[in-house]
């Protein structure tokens, strides 16, 4: 039978009123243990995939000290941290070995074998071949939208004196904080940009118009991915290129990720999924 255990939120030790348990004290105490963070879309995605496979991990939400302790223990900088017993198997898609990570192990069947027998398949090469199939959560938008975005930028600049970087800064300043947006009961689009990013500047007028059109129905949160103060959000969303768009449902589930110069038609199709 597949091991099942009740999800636990928070990091309290034993009964109520005690000091918070450290990750070291919790590791090994459950067959399948996930350390996560609030508002982390990849943590939510992993828990959803595990539940679909019939697995219910014990889940603990990390505070800053717990996250630093796990970073030092594992060498991994981002949540989630996944343990089978005392064995660290990685985060969502990466881990201590190139073929590890909770999602690759889950897809290949190796996670269940590890839970059942305490050991991984002997043929690591075969496992690697099956484990690295990309998770279908990220669609990279192609350059088909470049001409449309450039035209949009030209038309916008004729109507409004704001340059694109100033417009991006304005949109960011007017954005609600991400926790507030996620608690609103509406879908949320999180856009990571950088002032030096040409595609971000080209898309700024289009995104400005879309924000006005979807006002009151979808939250738009703009984040400067080049600003050191946003490093934690960049890590949480695994941003490795800008512009990076994360579409989060009203139920706080990451539905889709788009990267690059996204055509308006594709952007609107993704926004409609949030309504």
Are the CB atoms for 11 and 63 separated by under 8 Å?
yes
pLDDT at 105 over 60: yes
Tokens of 20: 């918070």
Distance from C-alpha of 264 to C-alpha of 210, rounded to nearest angstrom: 9
Distance from C-alpha of 121 to C-alpha of 223, rounded to nearest angstrom: 42
Q: What was the pLDDT predicted at 143?
A: 37
Higher pLDDT pick, 139 / 75? 75
**Angle (CA) 241 271 148, round 5°:** 65
In this structure, the strands spanning 187-193 and 244-248 are antiparallel
Report the run of H or E that residue 190 belongs to, with start and end.
strand 187-193
pLDDT at 131 over 60: no
Query: Is 200 considered catalytic here?
Result: yes
Are the CB atoms for 140 and 242 separated by under 8 Å?
no
Q: Which of 140-144, 221-225, 266-270 has the lowest mean pLDDT?
A: 140-144
CA 234 to the chain's CA centroid: 9
Q: What's the rounded mean pLDDT across residues 168-172? A: 92
Band of residue 107 on the pLDDT scale cut at 50, 70, 90: confident
Band of residue 13 on the pLDDT scale cut at 50, 70, 90: very low
Catalytic residue among 40, 43, 92, 200: 200
Catalytic residue among 40, 43, 92, 197: 197
Mean pLDDT of the chain: 79
Q: What's the rounded mean pLDDT across residues 88-100? A: 84
Q: What was the pLDDT predicted at 49?
A: 86
DSSP character at residue 145: G
Distance from C-alpha of 13 to C-alpha of 10, rounded to nearest angstrom: 9
Q: Which of 48-52, 146-150, 254-258 has the lowest mean pLDDT?
A: 146-150
Band of residue 19 on the pLDDT scale cut at 50, 70, 90: low
Q: What was the pLDDT predicted at 42?
A: 77
Q: What was the pLDDT predicted at 196?
A: 84
Higher pLDDT pick, 56 / 275? 275
Q: What's the rounded mean pLDDT across residues 164-169? A: 90
pLDDT at 217 over 60: yes
Q: Which of 30-44, 61-75, 97-111 shows the highest mean pLDDT?
A: 61-75
Q: What was the pLDDT predicted at 39?
A: 65
CA 171 to the chain's CA centroid: 22
Query: Is 197 considered catalytic here?
Result: yes
Band of residue 195 on the pLDDT scale cut at 50, 70, 90: confident
């Amino acid at each position: 039978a597949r091991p099942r255990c009740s999800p636990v939120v928070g990091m309290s030790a034993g009964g109520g009123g005690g000091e918070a348990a450290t990750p070291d004290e919790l590791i090994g105490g459950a067959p399948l243990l996930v350390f996560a963070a609030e508002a982390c879309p990849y943590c939510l995605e992993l828990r959803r995939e595990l539940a679909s496979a019939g697995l219910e991990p014990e889940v603990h939400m990390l505070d800053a000290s717990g996250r630093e302790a796990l970073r030092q223990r594992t060498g991994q900088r981002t949540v989630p941290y996944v343990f089978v017993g005392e064995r660290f198997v990685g985060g969502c898609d990466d881990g201590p070995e190139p073929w590890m990570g909770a999602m690759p192990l889950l897809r290949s069947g190796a996670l269940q074998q590890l839970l059942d027998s305490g050991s991984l398949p002997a043929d690591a090469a075969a496992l690697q071949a099956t484990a690295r199939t990309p998770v279908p959560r990220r669609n990279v938008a192609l350059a088909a939208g470049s001409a449309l975005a450039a035209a949009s930028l030209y038309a916008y600049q004729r109507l409004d004196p704001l340059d694109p970087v100033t417009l991006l800064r304005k949109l960011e300043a007017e954005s609600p904080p991400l926790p507030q947006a996620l608690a609103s009961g509406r879908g949320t689009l999180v856009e990571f940009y950088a002032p030096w990013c040409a595609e971000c500047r080209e898309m700024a007028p289009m995104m400005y118009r879309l924000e006005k059109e979807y006002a009151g129905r979808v939250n738009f949160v703009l984040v400067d991915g080049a600003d050191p103060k946003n490093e934690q959000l960049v890590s949480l969303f695994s941003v490795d290129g800008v512009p990076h768009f994360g579409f989060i449902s009203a139920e706080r589930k990451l539905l889709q990720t788009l990267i690059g110069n996204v055509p308006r038609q594709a952007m609107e199709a993704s926004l409609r999924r949030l309504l």
